[in-house]
């Protein structure tokens, strides 16, 4: 095995400092799944089409299957594992659950991250804007309607409680 | 509704075994309940097969055939086996039991032996310390092919002298459906339309590509944790290929990232089990999207010729059709999907006289198998086309024409089975009619667009 | 491994010296990575060293320099369509940026990467053709400035030598009375490569079109201009009939091929559709 290209990965993942030596030259998705065992981010296509690998990098949604892992050094990554916990769901998670926007669940982590990215930028999106906001995320099960309703309801919930979609604030 | 439910419960009509069900067991009925899989799914904690890992785990990778139809003259694995980190490079020769599987009939090879029948057929399988070593090893396997003439659609496949995909011939299955007297039926018709319809293949594209994880536990049981629709059938087939008694094989169904029919078949299970058995190490095998599209099943492409007649009163008198279904290189569920299509070719309408023949034909295309709809979708393309054209020729409203001919209780289906209550087409069309009246809608033929 | 070494440049000088120090080796620039990482992963390309230019300050952002607009090569599409300079002066670029991939791609991918990848179906490049933009190329000792159409030399071939990089894009701020528009036909509204697209920049004076630039994507080995359509437009007052005629004329310049996204004849049909739509909205914007 090639031991030459070990890199020091120092970054924040889901609010916690990570500092470790890791084999470089891979995608951020591989580092998250294989090294940190954060397997919530999925690989549906590996080519940027499906959005199931979406994570927040310094607060912006990016595709971890097209991001070189070293790009995350010194930055902050949020994956689905950092969004809400079973006892303290983010409003987007709770709304997808309530509306029946989750079937097989393979698209769900990426969908949740994209919805959060959208609501951070636009707390009161129209249906058109929601559709645009999740147009980089494919779902083969639900037909999208219930996901769109869910995001609408999450937006209402956040606005009525005076919170933003930011992960820390929304799950407070 | 609530009243009915209470009545049912009061009379305690529903008795379960072995214990009698209590009223509280029905509490969720009529209510919205949280599915128990959903919280793990929204929080990213649900475990899919491709998420599994264990210390010492190897990564599997498959070499897929680059030829649609060819004899294998030799496979040189030496360079692949020499890649650092590679623990196994297996070909057909390494299979301990029988090199065969199949959901309907055992006609498929686990790893191609002597001959490949489609681009994407597994030829060899590798396990290595990491994905890069596995990928490198696969790229270093040298297969010497002797290309054979190939056939890519079922109609060519039935021609005399067509290349034989399987030695037994290219017809996998012929279904005949006969009802009434077809000549008499067409004699009674005043309008007859005849058309050819073609439907294309389609990928299920579940967002989770096929994935399996296998290891031998402390008791010597071979475990396969996988993304499957049918764990028991997988288990049976793994045991035959590995030459193990069934009680040495355990298959568990992980959270499934979508299947839509295609994970009904064996996917990664036998290959990943082989690798774990041969290396003694845990192995994970996850297809890329590209590999999954090549090697897994798809929806059957079909070619249909159909003739349908109706009398002046606007009643269907006869339908006669021939279906050529492309099942690809192996059967999968191609027998049943194409059989079902013969039954449903007329759709939910009543024909006193009905004749259909369907041929499920082997070709050198990818494998076509179960996909939600199961042949009925392909049939709908032709029966709805026929019905519209007949209505137009008769000068009838297409909805009226359908209402006049739809299957209702007391009428018989293509097989002769008399409908009792299961057929809701009449009620659906009536509701549609009402909706259209309420909303002032009518059917308009779309304008032709010229390019 | 997809690559052996990852270097991050913070300044232009650093980026150029990193390129120079790895000169002769298999070194590649990475900006958004949306083309490159995919190509490395699928083994279409290989690389030993990646030089990350996504944080080079001189190559980021949009600014006005005299009567020119300057877009740093490492500026993302999200930054482009949020920029009021772009929205005011070159709305076609905002339009195209919104149509590239979907949100995640727009957060990652850059204008420089679109040029560096040089796909004949790239969406931002037709806009640059229509704006008569220049590409500014930097090397350790010099900068040179080349019209975008000359920079693209052939199918996926650009005028970039080892050691050089694309620093920025420059174009004259379109004068008063100018309207620009981009129209794309793809198999989906998002996340889809163009089957055909058209970018238009035109100027109306006294009710008559005085300047017209029509660029077409995905119908030739490179992005092309359509002199036929431009000739039809110039000297005419905008009208539905004119939009249709411009579309028809553009078909003569298109040299499309069959591929999985569409046949050559479908593409020729679409050229007329895309051009007439783009011309119509450019005219509407010009008179506003
Ligand atoms: C899912 C998906 C959807 C897409 N949809 C579209 C679409 O709709 N329209 C479209 O046009 N494109 C699309 N693309 C392609 C891609 O996103 C664009 O071409 C994008 O602009 C590339 O920018 P990047 O910064 O990601 O480039 P990178 O991948 O970082 O680089 C691309 C190439 O350019 C070189 N390069 C990058 N920056 C420079 C520079 N400053 N100087 C010299 N060379 C440089 C790199 O070395 C590399 O060879 C899509 C891609 C994906 C994965
Ligand atoms: S896995 Fe990254 S977009 Fe599909
Ligand atoms: S829930 Fe299955 S892909 Fe979206």
Residue B27's pLDDT band (cuts 50, 70, 90): confident
**Ligand 3 probe mutation, A51, A53, A107, most atoms within 8 A of CB:** A107
CA–CA separation, C89 and C70 (whole Å): 12
The 10s digit of each residue's pLDDT in C167-192 is: 999 999 999 999 999 999 999 999 99
Residue B3's pLDDT band (cuts 50, 70, 90): very low
CA–CA separation, C119 and C124 (whole Å): 10
Task: Assess whether C240 and C186 both reside in one domain.
Answer: yes
pLDDT at B266: 96
Other residues' Cβ atoms within 10 Å of the Cβ of residue B16:
9
The domain that holds C148 is classified in CATH as 3.30.465.10
Task: Assess whether A154 and A122 both reside in one domain.
Answer: yes
Residue scoring higher pLDDT (B423 or B119): B119
Residues 125-154 of B with CB under 8 A from C: 132
Which of these three, C117, C152, C172, is where a domain ends?
A: C172
pLDDT at B444: 72
Task: Assess whether A17 and A58 both reside in one domain.
Answer: yes
Task: Assess whether A153 and A116 both reside in one domain.
Answer: yes
What are the tokens at A96? 């997808």
C204 sits in the region (left: phi over 0; alpha: psi -120 to 50; else beta) called beta
What are the tokens at C134? 């220049």
Residue B28's pLDDT band (cuts 50, 70, 90): confident
Task: Assess whether A54 and A16 both reside in one domain.
Answer: yes
Q: Does A136 touch chain C (CB under 8 A)?
A: yes
What are the tokens at C38? 């995919």
Residue A1's pLDDT band (cuts 50, 70, 90): very low
Task: Assess whether C97 and C166 both reside in one domain.
Answer: yes
| pLDDT exceeds cutoff 50 at A70 | yes
Q: Which domain holds residue A100?
A: 91-161
- How many CA atoms does the CB half-sphere of C52 hold within 13 Å? 20
* Mean pLDDT value across chain B: 93
Mean pLDDT of B300-326: 98
Task: Assess whether C184 and C125 both reside in one domain.
Answer: no
Task: Assess whether C156 and C226 both reside in one domain.
Answer: no
The closest of B291, C4, C192 to A48, measured between CA atoms, is C192
pLDDT at C147: 98
Task: Assess whether A98 and A71 both reside in one domain.
Answer: no
CA–CA separation, A172 and A88 (whole Å): 8
The answer as to whether A155 is a domain residue is: yes
Instruction: Report how far Cα C67 is from the mean position of its chain's Cα atoms.
Output: 21
For the whole prediction, is pTM greater than 0.90?
yes
Task: Assess whether C204 and C154 both reside in one domain.
Answer: no
CA–CA separation, C36 and C33 (whole Å): 5
The closest of C124, C286, C284, C135 to C211, measured between CA atoms, is C286
Taking the CA of A106 as reference, the closest ligand is: 3
pLDDT at A163: 83
Q: What is the number of H-type helices and E-type strands within chain C? A: 12, 14
| pLDDT exceeds cutoff 60 at B449 | no
Q: What percentage of chain C reaches a pLDDT higher than 70?
A: 100
- How many CA atoms does the CB half-sphere of C107 hold within 13 Å? 24
Q: Which domain holds residue C47?
A: 5-52
Task: Assess whether C217 and C281 both reside in one domain.
Answer: yes
pLDDT at A4: 65
What are the tokens at A136? 């980089």
Task: Assess whether A77 and A103 both reside in one domain.
Answer: no
Residue B301 CA to ligand 2 center (angstroms) comes to 28
The domain that holds A95 is classified in CATH as 1.10.150.120
| pLDDT exceeds cutoff 70 at B281 | yes
Task: Assess whether A117 and A138 both reside in one domain.
Answer: yes
For B132, the closest of C1, C265, C266 (CB atoms) is: C1
| pLDDT exceeds cutoff 60 at B336 | yes
Strands (E), B129-247: 142-147, 171-179, 191-199, 211-216, 222-226
The domain that holds C242 is classified in CATH as 3.30.390.50
Contact B451 C1 (CB under 8 A): no
Q: Please, are residues C202 and C230 in contact by the beta-carbon 8 Å criterion?
A: no
The closest of B413, B335, B343 to B378, measured between CA atoms, is B343
The closest of B325, B311, B333, B389 to B357, measured between CA atoms, is B325
Residue B16's pLDDT band (cuts 50, 70, 90): very low
The closest of C274, C137, C157 to C222, measured between CA atoms, is C157
* Atom 3, ligand 1: residue with shortest CA distance: C101
Task: Assess whether A130 and A73 both reside in one domain.
Answer: no
CA–CA separation, A117 and B109 (whole Å): 47
CA–CA separation, B112 and B143 (whole Å): 11
Residue-by-residue DSSP string for B19-34: SPPPGGGGTTTTS---
Residue-by-residue DSSP string for A99-167: HT--SS-SSHHHHHHHHHHHHHH-SS--HHHHHHHTTT---SSS-SHHHHHHHHHHHHHHHHTT--S-H
Residue A49 CA to ligand 2 center (angstroms) comes to 6
CA–CA separation, C262 and C269 (whole Å): 11
The closest of C246, C70, C94, C253 to C170, measured between CA atoms, is C70
Q: Please, are residues B381 and B202 in contact by the beta-carbon 8 Å criterion?
A: no
Q: Please, are residues B368 and B331 in contact by the beta-carbon 8 Å criterion?
A: no
| pLDDT exceeds cutoff 80 at B150 | yes
Q: How many CB pairs under 8 A join A and C?
A: 97
Mean pLDDT of C121-141: 97
pLDDT at B40: 97
Question: Parallel, antiparallel, or unpaired for β C5-8 and C49-52?
Answer: parallel
Which of these three, A55, A82, A109, is where a domain ends?
A: A82
The domain that holds C13 is classified in CATH as 3.30.43.10
Query: Using CB atoms, which chains have 3+ pairs under 8 A with C?
Result: A, B
**Ligand 2 probe mutation, A47, A111, A135, most atoms within 8 A of CB:** A47
pLDDT at B7: 44
Strands (E), B11-141: 58-64, 70-76, 86-90, 115-116, 122-128
Question: DSSP label at B385?
Answer: H
- Angle of CA points C168, C174, C177, to nearest 5°: 165
Task: Assess whether C93 and C184 both reside in one domain.
Answer: no
Q: Can you tell me which residue has the tokens 């990564």?
A: B59
The answer as to whether A103 is a domain residue is: yes
Which of these three, A37, A57, A82, is where a domain ends?
A: A82
Task: Assess whether A19 and A60 both reside in one domain.
Answer: yes
Strands (E), C3-119: 5-8, 27-30, 49-52, 62-65, 68-72
| pLDDT exceeds cutoff 90 at A5 | no
Task: Assess whether A58 and A108 both reside in one domain.
Answer: no
Number of domains in chain C: 3
Q: Chain C contacts of B132, Cβ < 8 Å?
A: 1
Q: Please, are residues B423 and B409 in contact by the beta-carbon 8 Å criterion?
A: yes
Task: Assess whether A78 and A95 both reside in one domain.
Answer: no
| pLDDT exceeds cutoff 60 at C59 | yes
Q: Please, are residues B163 and B151 in contact by the beta-carbon 8 Å criterion?
A: yes
Question: Parallel, antiparallel, or unpaired for β C152-154 and C157-158?
Answer: antiparallel
Residue A60 CA to ligand 2 center (angstroms) comes to 16
Q: Please, are residues A73 and A11 in contact by the beta-carbon 8 Å criterion?
A: yes
CA–CA separation, C108 and A23 (whole Å): 23
Give the minimum alpha-carbon distance from B61 to chain C in angstroms, rounded to a whole number. Answer: 15
Instruction: Go through the domains of chain B in sequence order and give each one's CATH number.
Output: 50-147+205-295 (3.90.1170.50), 154-202+298-438 (3.30.365.10)
The domain that holds A34 is classified in CATH as 3.10.20.30
pLDDT at B448: 56
The 10s digit of each residue's pLDDT in A72-121 is: 999 999 999 999 999 999 999 999 999 999 999 999 999 999 999 999 99
Q: For an interface test with A, give the residue of C35, C78, C79, C102 to mutate (most A CBs within 10 A).
A: C102
The 10s digit of each residue's pLDDT in B97-142 is: 999 999 999 999 999 999 999 999 999 999 999 999 999 999 999 9
Which of these three, A82, A112, A127, is where a domain ends?
A: A82
What are the tokens at B333? 């569920």
Task: Assess whether C65 and C168 both reside in one domain.
Answer: yes
| pLDDT exceeds cutoff 90 at B13 | no
| pLDDT exceeds cutoff 90 at A172 | no
CA–CA separation, B274 and B295 (whole Å): 18
Mean pLDDT of C207-219: 97
Ligand 1 atom showing the smallest separation from residue C74 Cα: 41
Q: In sequence order, which residues have a C-beta less than 8 Å from that of residue B449 and are 6 or more positions away?
A: none
The answer as to whether A39 is a domain residue is: yes
B70-76: strand order across its sheet: B115-116, B70-76, B142-147
Task: Assess whether C168 and C182 both reside in one domain.
Answer: no
Q: Please, are residues C184 and C92 in contact by the beta-carbon 8 Å criterion?
A: no
Exposure of A78 by Cβ count < 10 A (0-12 exposed, 13-18 middle, 19+ buried)? buried
CA–CA separation, A56 and B415 (whole Å): 57
- Angle of CA points B214, B218, B219, to nearest 5°: 100
Number of domains in chain A: 2
Which of these three, C172, C205, C237, is where a domain ends?
A: C172
Exposure of B3 by Cβ count < 10 A (0-12 exposed, 13-18 middle, 19+ buried)? exposed
pLDDT at B447: 58
Q: In sequence order, which residues have a C-beta less than 8 Å from that of residue C74 and are 6 or more positions away?
A: C31, C53, C54, C55, C56, C59, C60, C110, C112
Q: Chain A contacts of C101, Cβ < 8 Å?
A: 48, 136
Q: In sequence order, which residues have a C-beta less than 8 Å from that of residue C215 and are 6 or more positions away?
A: C126, C127, C129, C130, C198, C199, C200, C223, C224, C225, C226
Which of these three, C139, C172, C205, is where a domain ends?
A: C172
Q: Does B54 touch chain A (CB under 8 A)?
A: no
What does residue B324 show for φ and ψ, rounded to 5 degrees? -115, 110
- Chain A residues at the B interface, defined by Cβ less than 8 Å, are 1, 30, 33-34, 37-47, 50, 52, 79-81, 83-86, 89, 93-94, 96-97, 102-109, 112, 138-141
């Amino acid at each position: 095995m090639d031991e030459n290209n070990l890199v020091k990965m120092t970054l924040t993942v889901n609010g916690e400092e990570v500092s470790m030596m890791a084999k470089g030259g891979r995608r951020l998705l591989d580092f998250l799944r294989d090294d940190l065992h954060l397997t919530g981010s999925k690989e549906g296509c590996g080519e940027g089409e499906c959005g199931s690998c979406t994570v927040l990098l310094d607060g912006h949604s990016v595709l971890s299957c097209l991001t070189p892992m070293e790009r995350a050094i010194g930055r902050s990554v949020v994956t689905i594992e950092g969004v809400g916990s079973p006892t303290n769901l983010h409003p987007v998670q709770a709304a997808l659950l309530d509306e029946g926007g989750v079937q097989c669940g393979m698209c769900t982590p990426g969908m949740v991250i994209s919805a959060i990215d959208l609501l951070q930028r636009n707390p009161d999106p129209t249906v058109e804007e929601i559709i645009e906001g999740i147009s980089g995320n494919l779902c083969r099960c639900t037909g999208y309607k219930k996901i769109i309703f869910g995001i609408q309801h999450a937006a209402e919930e956040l606005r009525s409680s005076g919170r933003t979609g930011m992960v820390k604030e929304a799950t407070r | 509704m609530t009243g009915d439910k209470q009545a049912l419960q009061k009379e305690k009509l529903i008795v379960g075994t072995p214990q009698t069900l209590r009223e509280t067991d029905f509490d969720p009925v009529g209510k919205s309940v949280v599915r128990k899989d959903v919280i793990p799914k929204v929080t990213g904690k649900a475990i899919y097969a491709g998420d599994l890992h264990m210390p010492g785990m190897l990564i599997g990778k498959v070499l897929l055939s680059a030829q649609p139809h060819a004899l294998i003259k030799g496979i040189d694995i030496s360079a692949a086996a020499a890649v650092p980190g590679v623990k196994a490079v297996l070909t057909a020769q390494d299979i301990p039991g029988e090199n065969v599987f199949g959901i309907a009939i055992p006609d498929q090879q686990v790893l191609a032996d002597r001959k490949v029948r489609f681009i994407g057929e597994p030829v060899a399988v590798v396990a290595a310390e990491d994905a890069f070593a596995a990928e490198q090893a696969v790229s270093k396997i040298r297969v010497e092919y002797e290309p054979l003439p190939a056939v890519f659609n079922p109609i060519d496949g039935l021609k005399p002298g067509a290349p034989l995909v399987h030695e037994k011939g290219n017809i996998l299955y012929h279904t005949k459906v006969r009802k009434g007297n077809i000549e008499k039926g067409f004699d009674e018709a005043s309008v007859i339309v005849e058309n050819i319809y073609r439907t294309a293949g389609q990928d299920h594209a579940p967002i989770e590509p096929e994935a399996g994880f296998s290891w031998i536990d402390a008791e010597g049981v071979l475990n396969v944790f996988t993304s499957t629709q049918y764990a028991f059938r997988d288990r049976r087939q793994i045991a035959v290929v590995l030459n193990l008694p069934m009680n040495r094989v355990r298959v568990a169904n992980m959270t499934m990232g979508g299947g839509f029919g295609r994970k009904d078949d064996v996917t990664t299970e036998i290959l990943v089990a082989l690798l774990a058995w041969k290396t003694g190490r845990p192995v994970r095998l996850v297809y890329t999207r590209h590999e999954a599209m090549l090697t897994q099943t798809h929806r059957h492409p079909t070619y249909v010729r159909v003739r349908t007649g109706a009398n002046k009163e606007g009643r269907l008198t006869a339908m006669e059709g021939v279906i050529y279904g492309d099942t690809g290189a192996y059967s999968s569920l191609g027998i049943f999907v194409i059989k079902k299509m013969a039954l449903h070719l007329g759709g939910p309408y009543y024909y006193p006289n009905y004749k259909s023949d369907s041929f499920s034909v082997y070709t050198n295309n990818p494998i076509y198998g179960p996909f939600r709809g199961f042949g009925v979708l392909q049939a709908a393309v032709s029966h709805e086309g026929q019905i519209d054209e007949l209505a137009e020729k008769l000068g009838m409203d297409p909805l009226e024409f359908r209402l006049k001919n739809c299957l209702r209780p007391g009428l018989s289906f293509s097989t002769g089975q008399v409908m009792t209550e299961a057929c809701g087409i009449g009620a659906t069309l009536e509701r549609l009619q009402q909706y259209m009246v309420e909303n002032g809608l009518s059917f308009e033929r779309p304008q032709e667009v010229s390019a | 491994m997809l690559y052996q070494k990852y270097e991050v440049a913070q300044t232009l000088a650093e980026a150029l010296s990193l390129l120079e120090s790895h000169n002769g080796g298999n070194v590649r620039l990475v900006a958004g990575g949306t083309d490159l990482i995919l190509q490395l992963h699928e083994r279409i390309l290989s690389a030993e060293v990646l030089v990350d230019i996504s944080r080079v300050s001189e190559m980021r952002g949009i600014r006005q320099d005299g009567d020119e607009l300057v877009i740093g090569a490492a500026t993302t599409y999200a930054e482009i369509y949020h920029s009021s300079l772009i929205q005011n002066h070159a709305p076609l670029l905002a339009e195209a940026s919104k149509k590239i991939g979907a949100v995640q791609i727009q957060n990652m991918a850059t204008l420089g990467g679109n040029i560096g990848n040089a796909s004949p179906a790239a969406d931002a490049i037709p806009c640059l053709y229509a704006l008569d933009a220049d590409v500014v190329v930097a090397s350790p000792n010099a900068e040179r400035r080349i019209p975008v159409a000359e920079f693209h030399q052939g199918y996926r071939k650009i005028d970039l030598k080892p050691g050089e990089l694309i620093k920025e894009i420059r174009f004259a701020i379109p004068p008063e009375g100018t309207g620009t528009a981009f129209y794309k036909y793809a198999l989906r509204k998002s996340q889809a490569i163009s089957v055909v697209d058209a970018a238009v920049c035109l100027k109306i004076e006294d009710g008559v079109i005085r300047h017209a630039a029509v660029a077409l994507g995905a119908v030739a080995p490179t992005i092309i201009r359509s002199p036929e359509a431009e000739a039809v437009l110039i000297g005419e007052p905008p009208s539905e009939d004119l939009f249709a005629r411009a579309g028809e004329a553009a078909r003569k310049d298109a040299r499309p091929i069959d591929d999985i996204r569409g046949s050559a004849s479908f593409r020729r049909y679409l050229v007329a559709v895309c051009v007439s739509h783009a011309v119509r909205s450019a005219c509407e914007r010009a008179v506003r």
